[in-house]
Amino acid sequence: MKVFQIGAAGGVGQRLMKRLAAAGDAPTGMHRAPEQAQKIVGFGGTPVSGDLIADSVDELSAKMEGHGAIVFSAGAHGTGQDKTTLIDGKGLEKAADAASRAGVRRFVLVSAFPESERSGGLGEGFEHYMRVKKSADVYLANTALDWVIVPAWATHR
């Protein structure tokens, strides 16, 4: 199956691309930085340049066409609350809308449990991240896509 991986150069994306390629699937890895393209090839995937902030829903949809599933594991990774909102939140919304337009029904979101690490006193930035992730989960759940939400900790096994 052709699988479109958003966040392919990250930790989850790297492991997933390797596993998909080893299983005989055809992973496509979306990346922002040009130097990430060669990494994706090394993982067994086909690189495609893209940006969840800059690309429109139509541009993302065109990149997704012909794939059987989308996996979203992109994240702002501590680059600030504005980027968290744009990538983890609005980026997921764009990706889900683009998948619908492209006719790709299967959508896997790597997310976080809304209450995980909450008692750890990790600060307002973390609390913002958790609010954005929860909103993204709800957005995806309200689409007509065939979706599944996987907690990030489950991907490290």
Which residues are designated catalytic? 129
Residue 134 makes CB contacts below 8 A (sequence gap 6+) with: 114
Buried b (16+ CB within 10 A) or exposed e, 86-110: bbbbbbbbbbbbbbbebebebbbbb
Give the CA count within 13 Å in the CB-facing half-sphere of 109: 29
Burial of 51 (0-12, 13-18, 19+ CB in 10 A): middle
